[in-house]
Amino acid sequence: MRHGCHLCDDMLVALETVKTRWSFELEVIDIGGNEAFEASYGTRVPLLKSEHAEICYYFLDEEALQAYFSRS
pTM of structure: 0.85
* CA-CA-CA-CA torsion sign (72, 19, 49, 14): positive
Arch. (CATH architecture) of 6-71: 3-Layer(aba) Sandwich (3.40)
Rounded CA separation 32/38 (Å) = 7
How much is the pLDDT for 12? 95
Residue 60 has pLDDT above 80, yes or no: yes
Residues facing 48 on adjacent strands? 56
**41-59 pLDDT tens trace:** 888 999 999 988 999 999 9
Residue 72 clears pLDDT 80, i.e. is over it? no
